[in-house]
Copies of this chain bind each other. A is one copy, B any other.
Amino acid sequence: MIELGQLEQLVAVAECGTLSKAAEQLHLSQPALSRSIQKLEEELQVTLFERQKNKLSLNPCGELTVEHAKKVIGQSRDLVERVRAFERRQRTVSVGSCAPAPLWDIVPLLSALYPEMTISSEMKSNDRLLQGLGDGTYQMIVLPEPIQQPGIHCVRYGEEQLYFSLPPAHPLSGAKALHLKDLDGETMLLLSQIGFWHEMHREKMPNTHFLVQEEDFAFNELVRASALPSFTSDLAIKREGNASNRVMIPILDPEAHATFYCLCRADEEKKLSAFFRRIESPAWKPS
């Protein structure tokens, strides 16, 4: 039986041009490679090289063999890649979310419920999420609205309320509640990884100058150190505590309030049943 190792050796010789160089590349002694090639020719019952005592060069038959060998080798590499990728996917739950807050609870919860699984998560636009749910990129997605579709399982997850985070010296820091337009036109700090909330900011506060921060740490430092207004939410406050020297003022616009829904494909609902049972139970509250 012909073996992949032999084909690799043949290709190496073909590409190096000489046995010695190929042997070096293959971490093999040159005599060993010489024998291997001879054995390959024996098993194929075909001579692949022109022998000129001192030189070895592919004959037409050898060139054809190399050509096919590359295909076979490529396909075998492909096999390994695909199988490993498949296995990895079997062992991972991919979650896509429209906003960061739901992931704060969902990822740890999934980790706890499926300890042998890898949990991967990312944020994307609603469109991308739905598409990814369909094509298998995600096993579960979080949207700010319910989807009623055959083949899709949809469960209400929780809510999030947006707040302004103002320094006490701000003129509006005494207000009980505000609208988005009340601060429109000012300069505000904003995190970049906030998912679908970005749309709202663009639409309802078109005149605001946002200083967008990529990093969580940098954002928090600026919030503490500067007098610039920024955003937060009930979930963020629960998670990180009240930022020192900041006043949190709820935002009255309906767009500043989100209700999140967890969706998965109906044919994968069973695998995630433990998760859905948990978030559907009366005891469940986003912490």
Contact = CB atoms under 8 A, between A and B. Distances in A.
A86 B71 contact: no
Contacts of A60: 86, 90
B44 A2 contact: no
A122 interface: no
Interface stretch (A61-69, A140-148, A208-216, A218-226): A61-69
Contact of A65 (B4, B68, B79): B79
Interface in A26-70: 44-46, 60-61, 64-65, 68-69
Given A75-B71, A90-B61, A46 B1 contact: no
A82 interface: yes
Contacts of A267: none
- Interface centre among A65, A80, A83, by most chain B C-beta atoms within 10 angstroms, is A83
Interface of A is mostly: helix
A82 B68 contact: yes
Contact of A44 (B8, B45, B75, B83): B83
A72 interface: yes
A84 interface: yes
A45 B7 CA distance: 23
Nearest to A71: B75
Contact of A75 (B5, B75, B86): B75
Interface of A: 1-5, 7-8, 44-46, 60-61, 64-65, 68-69, 71-72, 75-76, 78-80, 82-84, 86-87, 90
Given A1-B5, A4-B76, A65-B79, 6 more contacts: A1-B8, A44-B84, A60-B86, A64-B82, A68-B79, A72-B75
